[in-house]
Structure 1
Amino acid sequence: MSINQENSTTRSPGGSADLVALDAHAVGVSIDLVARATPADLTRPTPCAEWTLEGLLTHMAVQHNGFAAAARGETDPGVWEVSSLGDDPFGAYRDSAERVLDAFAAEGVLDRMFLLHEFREEPFPGHQAISFHLVDYVVHSWDVAKALGLTPNLAAAAVEAAYEIAQMVPTGEARLVPGAAFGPEVAFSGGSRLDQVVAHLGRSPNWPA
């Protein structure tokens, strides 16, 4: 799941100065959750219906590596190719997460242009690319937590920022196209702000019920 080029007008909520810190928080929550998993958990289903936990972690690691390369100005599309996480999938995930955290922490990163091959062949402004990543890792932290029967300890500011960005994602027929980044919006009323984020992006807050 990733926000794509349809959201080219996205602006970072709360000001660009907060964006990197909010993203780092969301990624950190994902690291903490993955650290609680065991090898037996790798076959668990996740709210991403096509992936077990192992498949989800593989996707997340590819995303981290791709965004990190883009932040460094690298242009090789091969970094977006899916590959095995090897004998230590949890360590491989942590390494990829730390890689993107380091890349996003670089001075001036928000003013750079990111070439995200998975989405389009024209670059995105840095603040926009990192806003995409923030939404992904608020939602993917929720995915991992749900798979493990845990609650993601996401800060309200990160969830609120993800909510503001997620509202810019088109709904309707755009969600039905093969390969669409998100499934159809799930009808859901009430709940927490995080529930509202995941429902808008095609997940049932009540998963796996």
Structure 2
Amino acid sequence: MSSRLDAGVELLERSLGYTRTALARVGPTDLTRPTPCDRWDLAALLAHMDDALDAFLEAAGGRVAPPTGPGGAPRPGGTDSLCTKACALLGAWTSAPPQAVTLDRALHGAGRGAGVVMDPALLVLTAALEITVHGWDVARALDLAHPVPPALAVDLLPVARALVGEGRFAPALAVAGDPGAPSGVRLLGAVGREADRPLRRTR
């Protein structure tokens, strides 16, 4: 692997470790809890995370489709299935990562046909960011004190800034650029999240 991809995989491992801690606390009575994603309850967020892990696993084979969006209900196996997929994801990118990843043109609104080639290191960094942020979303929905570790947040901040405007997260907040704010708060701000904002129920 290239050094950049090596660094991305290491960051992915840290992001998965952080998020698995939150997933382990989800119980069957928690699925209707509100999340920082205003349109989604916890069940919908977990379904979206399941779709995203499928997409990132597919990418390890050299081709990827996007997450299909929240399905509104957890997949069979619940968070155990998510944790299993998370382990498989890390193994796939550690053992035999692709030289390039092809995205179907339909992902870019350009119809089907020849794909767009993406740097695998950037894709792994995107996965690390998405997994970390949604791990925080899960923890926030559960009212857990589980902030993003400062060192992980520092390493993900450049990734978040590079992906602003690509539609994966809400627009950045002003706190993202405040050098006096904790790194975790700046990271959350970079993806449109306020650490202390009250959650709104979706139904």
TM-score (norm 1): 0.77
Contact 1:195 1:205 in 2 (8 A): yes
The CA distance in 1 between the partners of 2:76 and 2:174, in whole Å, is: 40
Is residue 66–residue 116 contact of structure 1 (8 Å, CA) maintained in 2? Answer: no
1:124 paired to 2:111: no
**Counterpart code for 2:102:** L
The count of corresponding residues between Structure 1 and Structure 2 is 186
Displacement of 1:187 in angstroms is: 2.9
1:152 aligns with 2:146: yes
Does 2:189 match 1:203? no
Name the structure 2 match of 1:3.
Answer: none
Q: Match for 2:192: what amino acid?
A: G
| Alpha-carbon distance between aligned partners in 1 of 2:29 and 2:157, rounded to the nearest angstrom | 33
Q: Which residue of 2 aligns with 1:164?
A: 158
Shift of 1:16: 3.7
CA contact (8 A) 1:142 1:151 kept: no
Displacement after TM superposition at 1:181 (Å): 2.3
Map of 2:25 onto structure 1: 36
Residue 104 of structure 1 aligns to a residue whose secondary structure is helix
In the other structure, the counterpart of 2:127 is: 133
In structure 2, which of residues 52, 56, 59 is the aligned counterpart of residue 63 of structure 1?
52
Per-residue CA deviations over 1:17-64 (Å, capped at 9, x if unaligned) read 322011111112212211111111111111111111111111111111
- C-alpha RMSD of the superposition: 2.7
Tell me the SS of whatever aligns to 2:95. coil
The aligned counterpart of 1:19 is 8
Counterpart check, 1:99 vs 2:93: no
What is the Cα deviation at residue 68 of structure 1? 0.8
Q: Provide the C-alpha distance between the structure 2 equivalents of 1:125 and 1:134, rounded to a whole number of angstroms.
A: 15
Q: Deviations over 1:71-120 (max 9, x none)?
A: 12256x4x84465544431122222222212211124x2x6212345844
SS in structure 2 opposite 1:123? strand
Unaligned 5+ runs, structure 1: 1-11
Identity %, equivalent residues? 25
Does the CA contact (< 8 Å) of 1:67 and 1:116 recur in 2? no
In structure 2, the gaps of 5 or more residues are 109-114
State the TM-score, normalizing by the size of structure 2.
Answer: 0.79
Query: 1:145 Cα deviation (Å)?
Result: 1.1
Q: Structure 2 CA distance, aligned partners of 1:59 and 1:15? A: 27
Report deviation, 1:134. 1.3
Q: Aligned pair 1:50/2:39, yes or no? A: yes
Report how far residue 186 of structure 1 moved: 2.2
Of the candidates 181, 184, 189, which is equivalent to residue 191 of structure 1?
181
C-alpha separation in 1, matches of 2:37 and 2:102: 26
CA contact (8 A) 1:22 1:157 kept: no
